Structure 1
Amino acid sequence: MNREIPGFYYDPEKKKYFAIQANHKSAPGSQYSQDAVKRKRADQEKRQRKARLVQRYEKEKIKRAACLQHPLLQAQREVGEPAVSRLVDHEQRGLAYASQLRRKQLHQFEPWPDQYTIKHVVRNPRSGILIASGHRGGESSVSVCFPDCDQETWTYNRTMERLLFKEPYRLSSLSLSQTGYLLATMDSGPNGDSFLAPRMLPDPDEGGDYRWPPFFSHPIRIHTTSSLWCSAPSPTSDVPRFAVGTSDGLYTLEGLGSYWTLSKKPFPSDKASGNPKKRRTDSSHALITAVEWLSSDVIAAGLKDSTIFLHDVRSGGSAARLQHPHAVKKIRKLDPYRIVVAGINSLQMYDIRYPPNNLQRNPNPNKANHTSTRPYLTFSTNSSEIIPDFDISPELGLLASASPTDHDRTVQLYSLRTGDQIVSPLTRYRYRDAIRSVCFESGDQSTHGPQTPGLLVCSEATVDEWIW
């Protein structure tokens, strides 16, 4: 607001101060004579009073909710059905969707049978490229299959498969960024070495052909001294950025093309080096086995010693927040506050907005005195083994978990609101081979891709798509 200056009038339209002229000295019709300024200020005060009255009227007026005018809600009200909350309504839609899931075989990779075991399966939602990684003993490989863009929907065949790379290393993780970059982390090589391999995947041109960028004629390798265990892409970054969990802490990898930067992030106790009781950063107390981005600035990192800490890339600070009953194997984000954590015989949801409880300075899940944070929700898996793989769909309010035993060979669905199991054609289908990977897709991101949410299920060499 502009302050009043004696002898001057501020014109809000012209955004300038004008000297107030005496009535007997001003020209006829002058806009800034004493009388003219007096009239302007009176009109301005009148408009302000009217605006305040309208604002007060709108604030105190009771408006009819727009949702009450929906014909379906009116029908429910007429038949006497009670109103349901937003969470319950969301769950009901998810249950209705799950009841209509149908199986479609998407692709069967050629190199895998009797040789390799598939470990990861993801699909690029922009280009439709299907990516699969597998291992055989101490050797790992990554293959891609390009879709046929001439059809109305993406279709795959073995003639469009390409071997991306094959290495005598253990492939520990595979992450696909929304920018189109693929990151593979490899360790336990012939000489005990490790490396990260970021690579840009091509998008189709106007003719439907996929052409690799010329600067990727040679794969990029970023060598590290620590072992690599997991990785996750940033959800909304303009440039490719990944969180990487290693045997000596948390790192971020950021770059473009052939230029990448690997930066180490501090543990919650690193800044308190003067404290003799600081948290240990050796052995399992530094081995990060799971990472997940809660937002574009906050990373959740799970350790082998069961601790889950948060790191803010803006301030560079870290803080221990949760403690799982067992070593953390995988983390998935439901929203910026709720996460689902998997371990041995433990699949639980936590809310980081609750005060931390039952945290230990140097936890050890193998000891009897080990404590854990009270979960927000517990999923009953009835298993004493490590959860092989799981994924969540916030859009559907569902969690999909592969069967923890090889003889079961089914996919179980759970409600993210109650934790109860859900019956679906998917849960009743029994695969011939063990299930290795499950991955939800949101859909409606590409012209040729699925327009509704779906689930990719990989059993041995076959990738199935469960969709409405």
Structure 2
Amino acid sequence: MNGQPIPGYYWDTEKKKYFKIQSQNAARGFDLKYSLDNIRKEERKERIQKAATARSNKMRKERVVRRYPNSFAQTNIEREIGFERRSFYLNGPWTDAAAFRIDSDPKQVISKRPCHASIRIFDRDPVSKTIYAVQGSNSVKMQRMRTEEDAPVMPTDPSDYYDPQLSNAYAFHPWDEVTRTTSIASSLTYLPATGALAVTSFGSDRPPEVWLSDPERDPPYVGQKFTPRDCDSIWSAAARPSTFSPSPGLANSIAASYTEHLAVAASHSMILFTRSQAGVWDSTVAVKSLDTDVLALEWMSYTTVALGCRDGTIRLYDTRSGGSSHVLTHPYPISQLKRADDESRIICSGLQDTLFLYDIRSPRLSRNSSRKTFNYNNHHYNEQYFKTLYPGNRDMPKRRKLNHKAFKNWSQPILTFPHANRDELDLNIDVHPRLGLLAAAQDVSTGTAIRISNIWTGKTVKEIKPHENHRVQKGGWEAIRSLKFVDRDEEDGEADLWSCWNGGIAKFTW
């Protein structure tokens, strides 16, 4: 009498007794409690109750209770409720005035020399000020800056000829070659936390590769080379900024012990490289087998990576859960992604002259309501948009198809920026969140090399024209593939805009 199941009998937990189960024929016409139908109903209720209990227990175990209530401020709740909002003056006129002071004439940091190829892409060590660049297609070199320990500059007589390049801080040391890739280099990233350099290549007849080294400590051509499997091309790479800090729950975790994180867009997948405190690199395929190529990557927070794909989808990957999800849809292939002033706002640069600001929390997808009741005036892809895209009422079948696709699938941007990039994946963009400025490289055939916009209003505040001798070569080295806001060492908080310029590197100062 311990409640064990006995064939043909039912154990009543309330009465602590066994009762014989009556068959359907015997229970016909009688309302018997222990009939076969009633027993089946009771067993079904018990199964539902057990499943609900198991589900609630699982949710209780998986839920993380915040230890310190005051840490809710880290979730940017002040920004959500509008507390301590930036004034209109800071978001509008102040940003426009700051951009107005940018000098349109470039100051050459590194000039192109006849014996050297043009600089394709570059990065800079913020501590030692060393410049790492790809010259030509695959030669990775480093250029050290003049220091106080070097020989002083010789005094010059005003009456004698003097080459102004000799006073350049980067004209003292020669170029040192770090390595050579087996195909055209696709990205070059300096990781300041450990002094590592990451170089990726597109791949051709040779497979694409990821080159990781410590150029300040390792001899030339010494490093670790990774060749991903089932990868046709590596499009880009993004290192987690050293300014990001973990949340209190991750400060003492295993993931926080890694000193560097590097995300690599390898064809249809994303590979995550991590470096331990001992200096050992490890790689894992974080996102596998997507239906499209991953072209752009950007770290949004300490644990979140944004992926921009060829089909226009924007996905988010979380390093804690190891999963990714589709959050936004851009109308055209994505070439660049940049974090705006907050981890929930992302700037997306794509083909067909598209440069949009999205909010991840509110993608504002087109409503599924009837077209007759839908207000197109509040819709970005309205009739005026398609009239501009197809003037003169031409391509009506294609226009109707795109109108339906925009109504159903495309995400609605918060702001749109003027942009000129029809079909170039390499044109770079950069954002300075504190100044509220967005710098975007343009197609130089339009007469503008760099356009600077206000990320809070979407208006153009500065246009930089190309050099007089700037050669317009489609697909050549003249495309601005590197564009960076570099903070100065002074305490005034000002910054310079560095760019590939006329085969070398130039900066635009305030």
Same fold (TM over 0.5): yes
For the pair 1:174 / 2:188, whether they are aligned, the reply is yes
Q: Does the CA contact (< 8 Å) of 2:144 and 2:173 recur in 1?
A: no
Counterpart of 2:124? Answer: 123
Q: Of the candidates 269, 280, 284, which is equivalent to residue 249 of structure 1?
A: 269
Q: Of the candidates 143, 146, 166, which is equivalent to residue 145 of structure 1?
A: 143
Amino acid at match of 1:157: A
Q: Of the candidates 350, 353, 361, which is equivalent to residue 361 of structure 2?
A: 353
Partner Cα distance (2:235, 2:311) in 1:
14
Q: Of the candidates 241, 265, 268, which is equivalent to residue 286 of structure 2?
A: 265
How far residue 427 of structure 1 moved from its aligned partner, in angstroms, is: 2.3
Counterpart of 2:318? Answer: 312
Q: Does the CA contact (< 8 Å) of 2:182 and 2:201 recur in 1?
A: no
Q: Does the CA contact (< 8 Å) of 2:431 and 2:485 recur in 1?
A: no
Counterpart of 2:294? Answer: 288
Q: Secondary structure at the match of 2:499?
A: strand
Partner Cα distance (1:303, 1:130) in 2:
30
Q: Secondary structure at the match of 1:436?
A: coil
Counterpart of 2:498? Answer: 456
How far residue 414 of structure 1 moved from its aligned partner, in angstroms, is: 0.8
How far residue 461 of structure 1 moved from its aligned partner, in angstroms, is: 2.1
Q: Of the candidates 145, 159, 163, which is equivalent to residue 173 of structure 2?
A: 159
How far residue 431 of structure 1 moved from its aligned partner, in angstroms, is: 5.1
The Cα offsets for residues 380-419 of structure 1, whole Å up to 9 and x where unpaired, read as 2255343722211112111112221346252111111111
Q: Of the candidates 423, 432, 444, which is equivalent to residue 469 of structure 2?
A: 432
Q: Does the CA contact (< 8 Å) of 1:399 and 1:413 recur in 2?
A: yes
How far residue 188 of structure 1 moved from its aligned partner, in angstroms, is: 1.5
Q: Does the CA contact (< 8 Å) of 1:391 and 1:439 recur in 2?
A: yes
The Cα offsets for residues 177-222 of structure 1, whole Å up to 9 and x where unpaired, read as 23122111124244x31211112243xxxxxxxxx247x7722111
Task: Report the number of matched residues.
Answer: 346
Change (3 A) 1:156 1:332: same
Q: Matches of residues 153-232 of structure 1 in structure 2 within 5 Å?
A: 155-157=169-171, 159-179=173-193, 180-190=195-205, 192-202=206-216, 212-213=217-218, 218-225=222-229, 226=231, 227-232=233-238
Q: Does the CA contact (< 8 Å) of 2:308 and 2:315 recur in 1?
A: yes
Q: Matches of residues 26-175 of structure 1 in structure 2 within 5 Å?
A: 86-102=87-103, 103-110=106-113, 116-136=117-137, 140-150=138-148, 155-157=169-171, 159-175=173-189
Counterpart of 1:340? Answer: 347
Counterpart of 1:234? Answer: 240
Change (3 A) 1:219 1:383: closer
Range moving further from structure 2, 233-242 or 221-230: 233-242
How far residue 290 of structure 1 moved from its aligned partner, in angstroms, is: 0.4
Partner Cα distance (1:399, 1:107) in 2:
24
For the pair 1:377 / 2:415, whether they are aligned, the reply is yes
In structure 2, list runs of 5 or more residues that go unmatched: 1-84, 154-166, 245-257, 368-397, 471-477
Q: Secondary structure at the match of 1:159?
A: coil
Identity %: 22
Greater strand fraction, Structure 1 or Structure 2: 1
What TM-score do you get using the length of structure 1 for normalisation? Answer: 0.66
How far residue 235 of structure 1 moved from its aligned partner, in angstroms, is: 1.3
Q: Secondary structure at the match of 1:350?
A: strand
For the pair 1:393 / 2:432, whether they are aligned, the reply is yes
The Cα offsets for residues 6-44 of structure 1, whole Å up to 9 and x where unpaired, read as xxxxxxxxxxxxxxxxxxxxxxxxxxxxxxxxxxxxxxx
How far residue 160 of structure 1 moved from its aligned partner, in angstroms, is: 2.9
